[in-house]
Amino acid sequence: MAQDTTAIEGKTLWRQVAVINALAAALVKESG
């Protein structure tokens, strides 16, 4: 159970990181 929970949390974390990177890229394009 613990390993499954860790895997789910990991996927969620990477998903958040991907969203943040996308937002940052959009801001750079607008400001650039």
Please state the pTM of the whole predicted model: 0.63
H or E element: which one contains 18? helix 2-31
pLDDT along the chain (32 residues), means of 10: 81 96 96 84
Q: What is the dihedral of CA 20, 25, 31, 32, to 10 degrees?
A: 160
CA distances to 12, 18, 20 from 26, in Å: 21, 12, 10
pLDDT given for residue 1 in this prediction: 61
- Nearest-CA neighbor of 16 among 24, 4, 28? 24
